Structure 1
Amino acid sequence: MDIDVLGTLAVREMGTSITPTAPKPRQVLALLALHADEVVPVGTLTEELWGSEPPRSARPTLQTYILQLRELITAALEQHGDDTRTAKDVLLTVPGGYLLKGGEGGHDVQEFERLAGMGYRAMDAEDFPEGARLLREALALWTGPALADVHTGPHLDTQIKRLEESRLCALDQRIEADLKLGRHRELLSELTVLLSRYSTHESLCGQYMLALYRSGRRGEALDAYQRLRSTLVRTLGLEPSPALAKLQRSILMARPEGVAGASGVRLA
């Protein structure tokens, strides 16, 4: 089974889609797919679909959604002439819940985590070209926001936030690697877009300041700091971190020896 959630939901059995079009069954499949090869309790599925006050018909309705998913799986198996398994072998009923078997197919989240982990280890070893390559490959698996076309409840919302944080960490480290490799000018347009979306993200701002400074745009680097400071004070009542303030002072003084900035990269 191939599972893609880093963008629109796509689940395929033997190359044939088993992704339903109806919103609720899609929601069930998304949660099962995110936890492939793990038991998802009935209570978790129920809360995901209906919140803390499910209707009396919640359990039989959930069973109907499971039946609909199994019908799609059956069609996929029959299309490919697989008579060694049934839908119940792929989507199992187990004590207390359901389990979707991933088998030997691909799962984009697992592949993202594998590549990102290798990228982090390369960064720790100061192999910045390899770190940049691996992290760029990991981030390329994202085709949009996670589960962009799925209605989400509390459990999927939590998982989406976790995935987005993982993506941001990988993105931060990939930009860090590119700065280490002297690609500051190439990063400017990307960082401009990112900061318009994550206006209070200090690490991205620090990287943007460094990229501007190294591109000979010292005044704009200082302006970026002031914009972030104004936003933090206005929206959160906070000052920038000491590390970012130190970077700002270093750029202000234009010290040629350089100091470590908020992103861990030196000015010179």
Structure 2
Amino acid sequence: MRYELLGSLRVVDGDGPSSISAQKIEILLASLLAHADHVLSVDQLMGEIWGERQPRRALAGLHVYVSEVRKFLYRPDRAAGPVLTRSPGYLLRLDGDALDAREFLELVALGRRYLRERRFEEAGEAFERGLALWRGPALGDVGRGPVLRGFATRLTEARLECTELLVDAQLRRGRHREVVGLLYTLTVENPLREAFHRQLMLALYRSERRADALRAYRSARRTLLDELGLEPCTPMQELHRAILRSDDPDGAMAPVG
């Protein structure tokens, strides 16, 4: 069985994908998956489902929803279901089942390792495989209590980081012209993320488009000043000075930790 959270929540098995239509039951399953193999307390789950305005019989309602999740995940070929009662609440045990969010984070970590080893082609492939797992915003439109909001925020940031690292891998392979179009889109969609502006400047400069690279810097600087009252970060300023001098900016790549 495979659980998917990188988009709308769904469960995939031999019969294909299936989903839950009841919102509160979907929130419960999504919360358990967001903390797979770890216990979520009864209070955390009730807060996630109802927020601060919990009904008088919230605990009884939670027990009903847990029962519904267990029915949804029941498979006749399995001796036991994945949702377990564990004090002070419940956990969902993966036990060999796949979770796309976990696969994504593992691929990002693998790509980082390949970058550190200067295996740029393999790094790019790992990042591309990770990004291909996404079908839409994390968790789709499932409720946003503290558990799911924090989980979705972490995944969304990891997705942006993966995209940034993929571009770095491509730039290190000399594919500057190939990433220019993507970087223009990324800078429009993420105008305050300076890494994408820096990458665009470098890609343009190494594509023999020095004037466009300088124009990209001016545009980014104007956006940062207008929105935040801040000058560009030091790496962007150093890259700008290198382009003005027509130097090859060897240190323009982000270090990989």
| TM-score, normalising length: structure 2 | 0.92
1:129–1:177 CA contact under 8 A, matched in 2: yes
Q: Which moved more, 1:176-185 or 1:1-10?
A: 1-10
Q: For residue 167 of structure 2, what is the amino acid of its counterpart?
A: I
Asked whether the equivalents of residues 51 and 154 of structure 1 are also in contact (C-alpha less than 8 Å), the reply is no
1:48-127 equivalence runs, <5 A: 48-74=48-74, 77-78=75-76, 82=77, 85-86=79-80, 89-127=81-119
| Alpha-carbon distance between aligned partners in 2 of 1:258 and 1:99, rounded to the nearest angstrom | 50
Which amino acid is the alignment partner of residue 64 of structure 1?
Answer: V
**Partner SS, residue 92 of structure 1:** strand
Aligned equivalents of 2:197, 2:226: Cα separation in 1: 17
Unaligned runs of 5+ in 2: none
Give the counterpart of 1:169 among 161, 168, 180.
161
CA contact (8 A) 1:206 1:247 kept: yes
Tell me the number of residue pairs that the alignment of Structure 1 and Structure 2 aligns. Answer: 256
Name the CA distance, whole Å, in 2 between partners of 1:7 and 1:66. Answer: 23
> Structure 1 residues 181 and 16, CA, compared in 2 at 3 Å: closer, same or farther?
closer
Alignment counterpart, residue 211 of structure 2, candidates 192, 204, 219: 219
Superimposed CA distance per residue, residues 179-201 of structure 1 (whole angstroms, 9 cap, x where no aligned partner): 01111111011111111110011
| Whole-Å separation in 2 of the counterparts to 1:17 and 1:59 | 30
CA contact (8 A) 1:2 1:107 kept: yes
Quote the Cα distance in structure 2 between the aligned partners of 1:52 and 1:194: 37
Instruction: Give the deviation of 1:226 after TM superposition.
Output: 1.5
Which consecutive residues of structure 1, in runs of 5 or more, have no partner in the other structure?
Answer: none
8 Å CA contact 2:168, 2:253 repeated in 1: no
Conserved? CA contact 1:2–1:102, under 8 Å: no
SS of the aligned residue for 1:260 comes to helix
Percent identity at matched positions?
A: 37
Q: Which digits, 9 at most, give the CA deviation of each residue in 1:54-110, with x for residues without a partner?
A: 232221222221122122234xx24xxx3x525xx4211221111112121211122
- Which residue identity lines up with residue 101 of structure 1 in the other structure? R
Q: Report how far residue 52 of structure 1 moved.
A: 3.2
What is the RMSD computed on CA atoms of the aligned residues? 2.0
User: What's the CA shift string for 1:134-188, capped at 9, x where partnerless?
Assistant: 1111221112211114222222111111011111122111110100111111101
